[in-house]
C-alpha cells in the first residue's frame, strides 16, 4: 500500500483528524506527482528545457547509443532496448518482405520502436530511408523522375509539390526521415550518381532546394535560422547530401578527390547547402569524397567550423553508410583512428549499419580516456534529440494506418506524370525546320515501337528503385511502361507493333507510318554507374541504325545523363531526352502526341565525345552537341482551357443566350 493509499485508509478508519489527514494526503500526493513528473516528457516545456532534462538523466552509454544508426537487417527489439540505439535505416532494397504493403512497413517500424520505448529512458528511435525519387524502396509507391530530369523543368514549385507527396508516402509506411535531397552539383557525367544531381549549374540546384519545405513543411514566421524544422505528422525530416563537393571528383570517379580551390568549392558546391540550412533542413549527410586530399568524413574545418558554427546549423550531421570506415585506405584498417577523426570532425550520428558494438565500445573507451571530450558527445546527442523533439517523436512515437492510402495514390501518380512531361527535352524535331516530326499523329495505319527501353519499367525508373541498383522488367513494382502508354494514347484504329530489335529485313517487309525507338542506359547506382565511355546499351545503336535508316523515327533516350549520340543524330528525325522518368510512362506520350507541348531545357551540357569531358557551360573549350539550356518547344495540338476561366465564361455566355432565346420563343407563343 502506498503512502497516499495509507493516508486515505487512516482517514476512513478515523485514525486521524480529517483536516489533518487531508493535509497529509495533499503532501503525499504532491510528493508523488513530483516524482512522476518528468520534464522531457512534457510537451508544454520548451525544447531546450526538455533536451537538458533528458541529457542530465543519460549515461555515457545511452548517449553513445543515440549516436548509432544500424540497418534493420541486424536490428532486434532487444538490441534497440539494450543499447538505446538512436536510429534505424533501410538501405537500398532492405524491406520487411517482398512486395510489402504500407501496413507491413508500419508494423515493422512500430515493433522496433516498441523496443526503444521499453529502454530505461524510453527515447524513441528515428527510422530513415533513401527516398530519392519518391518512396523508391517500397512496392507500389509513386516513382518520380530522378533529379536530372527535374532540373530540366526549371520549376521549383513542382519540386516542392513532389516533396510534399513523397513525405505523405513515406509517412504512410510509418517512417519519419528521408535521406533526401541530393544537392550535388555534377560537373562530370562520367560520375555514376550524376542523375541524382539537378544540374551542373549551382543556381538550378539552389532553386530545387524547394523540395525541402515540401518534405518538411514551410518554416513559420518566428523561425530561428539554422534550427531543424518538421511541420507535423504528414512531414518528414529531410537530409541535404552529400556534404560537400561530391559532384566534382576527378574524372567523375565516385567517392574520389575533388580538386578545386576554396573559391571554387564555395561558389559551385556550397551555395545549395546555405539555402538548405536557411530552409530548416533537419540533417546533413557527409560525402565519401575528399576535398584536395582530405576525406570529408574527417574534415572538421568544413563540418564543425563552417556548417555548424558559421552557418549556425542546429540539426544533426550524419555519416554515409560505413562512412567513417572509409576514412582510411583500405577501409577499416585503423578503426580507432577513424572513430576519433569522424566524431571529432563533427559527425553526430554514425551509420554503422552492420556492426554497432565495435563502434560503441571504441567511442566509449576514447571518451573515458579523454581522447574525445564529453562535450563533443553532448553536442552530438543534443542535436539528435533536437530533431526528435521538433518532429514530435516523443509525443507520437508509434505510427498508425491513417495514411496508408497515400502510397501510390492517383493524385501522386498524376503529379509524377506532370513531372515527366515537364522534364522531357526535345533535342531535334525534323530533318529541317520546315518539316517537324512532332507532335506525332495518333491516327495512323500501323506504327512501330522498338528498343530495349520501351517495355521495361525497371529501366525507365533507373537505380535506387526497389533495389539499390534498380531492376529490369515489369514485375517488382507497379507503373505504366512507355509502350503501354503509347498503346493507350493512339487512336483505337492504329495498330501498334512492338519489336525490340528489328533487323533490316524486317523493316523492309513491313509498311509502318513511323517508328518510336526507345534506347538508353541500364539501371545503376553509385560506383557501379561510373563510366568512361557513356555509350547506350546494346543493341541500341543497331536498333537506331536499322529503324531510322528505313522509316521516319523519333528516338527517345532513357538515361541518367547525356550519352554518346553524335554518330546517330543525322539519321534521326526527332530526338528526345527522357532521362529516368519513373513509374508514369504516360508523361512521355503526353508530349510525343501533342496533348501537351515540350517545355524542358537541358540542365546540363550534352557533349559530342567523352574526350571533351569534363565540360560545363562557361568553359573555355565549350563545344557541345547541345548546349546547357537548350530545348526545342512545341505547342499542344488542342488548346486547353481552365474551366474557371475562358471555358467557364463561354459556358455562361451560352447559357445567357439560351435563356434569352427561350424567353423570346415563349413570348412569341403567347402572342
Asked whether the beta carbons of 199 and 205 are under 8 A apart, the reply is yes
Q: Give the C-alpha separation, 405 to 101, whole Å.
A: 10
Which one of 455, 526, 584, 590 is the catalytic residue?
Answer: 526
Give kind and range of the element (H or E) at residue 25. Answer: helix 18-36
Helix ranges, 311-356 (H)? 335-345
Helix ranges, 173-256 (H)? 202-207, 211-216
Asked whether the beta carbons of 533 and 613 are under 8 A apart, the reply is no
Q: Which residues pair with 351 in a beta bridge?
A: 69
Q: Give the C-alpha separation, 296 to 608, whole Å.
A: 33
Among 75, 130, 86, 79, residue whose Cα is nearest residue 108? 75
Which one of 320, 348, 418, 573 is the catalytic residue?
Answer: 320
Please say whether the dihedral angle defined by the alpha carbons of residues 493, 497, 503 and 505, taken in this order, is positive or negative: negative
Q: Which three cell numbers stand for residue 266?
A: 564555395
Among 539, 631, 192, 581, residue whose Cα is nearest residue 418? 581
Report the 10 Å Cβ neighbour count for 651: 11
Q: Give the C-alpha separation, 247 to 174, whole Å.
A: 32
Q: Give the C-alpha separation, 252 to 380, whole Å.
A: 32
Give kind and range of the element (H or E) at residue 448. Answer: strand 446-450
SS3 520: strand
Q: Is 526 a catalytic residue?
A: yes
User: What is the 8-class DSSP label of residue 504?
Assistant: H
Find all residues with CB under 8 Å of 406, minimum gap 6, and list them. Answer: 168, 169, 171, 172, 412
Q: Give the C-alpha separation, 397 to 391, whole Å.
A: 10
Q: Give the C-alpha separation, 187 to 415, whole Å.
A: 29
Find all residues with CB under 8 Å of 241, minimum gap 6, and list them. Answer: 179, 180, 181, 182, 183, 184, 284, 285, 287, 320
Asked whether the beta carbons of 141 and 196 are under 8 A apart, the reply is no
Q: How far is CA 317 from CA 360, 370, 495, in A?
A: 18, 22, 56
Q: How far is residue 599 CA from its own chain's centroid?
A: 23
Q: How far is residue 255 CA from its own chain's centroid?
A: 20
Q: Is 130 a catalytic residue?
A: no
Q: Where are the beta strands (DSSP E) in 343-434?
A: 350-351, 425-429
Q: Which three cell numbers stand for residue 223?
A: 523561425
Q: Which three cell numbers stand for residue 338?
A: 577513424
Report the 10 Å Cβ neighbour count for 652: 10
Q: What are phi and psi of 76, to 5 degrees?
A: -135, 165
Q: What are phi and psi of 141, to 5 degrees?
A: -75, 155
Q: Give the C-alpha separation, 318 to 66, whole Å.
A: 12
What secondary structure, in 3-state letters, does 364-377 show? HHHHHCCCCCHHHH
DSSP 636-655: -SS----TTTHHHHHHHHHH
Instruction: Tell how strand 425-429 and strand 574-577 pair up.
Output: antiparallel
Asked whether the beta carbons of 234 and 174 are under 8 A apart, the reply is no
Q: How many CA atoms lie within 13 A of 606 on its CB side?
A: 28
Give the residue numbers annotated as catalytic, written as ranges.
320, 526
Amino acid at each position: 500500500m502506498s503512502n497516499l493509499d495509507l493516508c486515505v485508509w487512516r482517514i476512513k478508519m478515523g485514525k486521524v483528524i480529517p483536516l489533518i489527514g487531508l493535509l497529509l494526503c495533499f503532501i503525499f500526493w504532491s510528493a508523488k506527482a513530483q516524482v512522476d513528473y518528468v520534464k522531457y516528457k512534457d510537451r508544454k516545456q520548451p525544447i531546450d528545457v526538455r533536451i537538458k532534462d533528458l541529457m542530465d538523466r543519460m549515461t555515457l552509454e545511452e548517449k553513445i547509443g543515440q549516436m548509432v544508426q544500424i540497418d534493420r537487417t541486424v536490428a532486434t527489439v532487444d538490441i534497440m532496448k539494450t543499447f538505446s540505439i538512436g536510429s534505424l535505416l533501410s538501405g537500398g532494397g532492405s524491406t520487411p518482405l517482398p512486395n510489402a504493403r504500407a501496413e507491413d512497413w508500419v508494423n515493422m517500424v512500430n515493433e522496433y520502436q516498441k523496443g526503444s520505448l521499453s529502454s530505461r529512458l524510453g527515447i524513441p528511435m528515428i527510422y530513415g530511408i533513401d527516398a530519392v525519387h519518391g518512396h523508391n524502396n517500397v512496392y507500389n509507391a509513386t516513382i518520380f523522375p530522378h533529379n536530372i530530369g527535374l532540373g530540366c523543368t526549371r520549376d521549383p514549385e513542382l519540386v516542392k509539390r513532389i516533396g510534399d507527396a513523397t513525405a505523405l508516402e513515406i509517412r504512410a509506411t510509418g517512417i519519419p526521415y528521408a535521406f533526401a535531397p541530393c544537392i550535388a552539383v555534377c560537373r562530370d557525367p562520367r560520375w555514376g550518381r550524376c542523375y541524382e544531381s539537378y544540374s551542373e549549374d549551382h543556381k538550378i540546384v539552389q532553386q530545387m532546394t524547394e523540395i525541402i519545405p515540401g518534405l518538411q513543411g514551410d518554416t513559420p514566421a518566428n523561425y530561428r535560422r539554422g534550427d531543424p524544422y518538421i511541420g507535423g505528422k504528414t512531414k518528414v525530416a529531410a537530409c541535404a547530401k552529400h556534404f560537400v563537393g561530391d559532384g566534382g571528383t576527378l574524372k567523375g570517379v565516385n567517392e574520389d578527390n575533388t580538386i578545386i580551390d576554396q573559391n571554387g568549392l564555395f561558389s559551385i558546391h556550397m551555395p545549395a547547402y546555405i539555402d538548405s540550412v536557411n530552409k530548416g533542413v533537419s540533417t546533413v549527410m557527409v560525402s565519401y569524397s575528399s576535398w584536395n586530399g582530405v576525406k570529408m568524413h574527417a574534415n572538421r574545418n568544413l563540418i564543425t567550423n563552417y556548417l555548424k558554427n558559421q552557418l549556425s546549423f542546429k540539426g544533426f550531421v550524419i555519416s554515409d553508410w560505413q562512412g567513417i570506415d572509409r576514412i582510411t585506405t583500405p577501409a577499416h584498417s585503423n578503426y580507432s583512428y577513424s572513430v576519433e577523426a569522424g566524431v571529432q570532425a563533427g559527425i553526430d550520428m554514425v551509420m554503422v549499419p552492420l556492426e554497432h558494438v565495435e563502434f560503441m565500445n571504441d567511442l566509449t573507451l576514447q571518451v573515458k580516456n579523454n581522447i574525445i571530450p564529453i562535450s563533443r558527445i553532448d553536442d552530438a546527442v543534443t542535436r539528435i534529440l533536437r530533431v526528435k523533439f521538433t518532429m514530435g517523436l516523443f509525443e507520437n512515437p508509434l505510427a498508425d494506418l491513417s495514411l496508408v492510402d497515400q502510397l501510390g495514390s492517383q493524385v501522386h501518380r498524376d503529379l509524377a506524370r506532370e513531372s515527366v512531361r515537364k522534364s522531357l527535352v526535345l533535342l531535334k524535331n525534323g530533318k529541317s525546320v520546315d518539316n517537324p516530326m512532332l507532335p506525332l499523329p495518333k491516327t495512323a495505319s500501323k506504327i512501330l515501337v522498338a528498343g530495349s527501353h520501351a517495355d521495361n519499367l525497371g529501366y525507365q525508373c533507373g537505380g535506387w528503385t526497389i533495389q539499390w541498383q534498380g531492376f529490369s522488367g515489369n514485375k517488382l513494382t507497379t507503373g505504366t511502361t512507355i509502350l503501354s502508354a503509347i498503346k493507350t494514347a493512339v487512336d483505337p484504329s492504329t495498330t501498334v507493333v512492338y519489336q525490340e530489335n528489328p533487323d533490316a529485313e524486317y523493316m523492309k517487309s513491313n509498311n509502318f507510318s513511323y517508328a518510336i525507338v526507345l534506347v538508353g542506359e541500364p539501371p545503376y547506382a553509385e560506383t557501379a554507374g561510373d563510366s568512361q565511355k557513356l555509350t547506350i546499351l546494346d543493341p541500341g545503336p543497331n536498333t537506331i541504325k536499322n529503324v531510322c535508316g528505313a522509316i521516319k523515327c523519333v528516338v527517345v533516350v532513357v538515361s541518367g545523363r547525356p550519352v554518346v549520340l553524335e554518330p546517330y543524330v543525322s539519321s534521326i528525325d526527332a530526338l528526345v531526352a527522357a532521362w529516368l522518368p519513373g513509374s508514369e510512362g504516360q508523361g512521355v506520350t503526353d508530349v510525343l502526341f501533342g496533348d501537351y507541348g515540350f517545355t524542358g531545357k537541358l540542365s546540363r551540357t550534352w557533349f559530342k565525345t567523352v574526350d571533351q569531358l569534363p565540360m560545363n557551360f562557361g568553359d573555355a573549350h565549350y563545344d557541345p552537341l547541345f548546349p546547357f539550356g537548350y530545348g526545342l518547344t512545341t505547342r499542344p495540338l488542342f488548346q486547353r482551357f481552365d474551366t474557371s476561366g475562358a471555358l467557364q465564361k463561354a459556358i455562361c455566355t451560352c447559357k445567357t443566350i439560351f435563356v434569352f432565346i427561350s424567353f423570346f420563343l415563349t413570348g412569341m407563343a403567347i402572342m
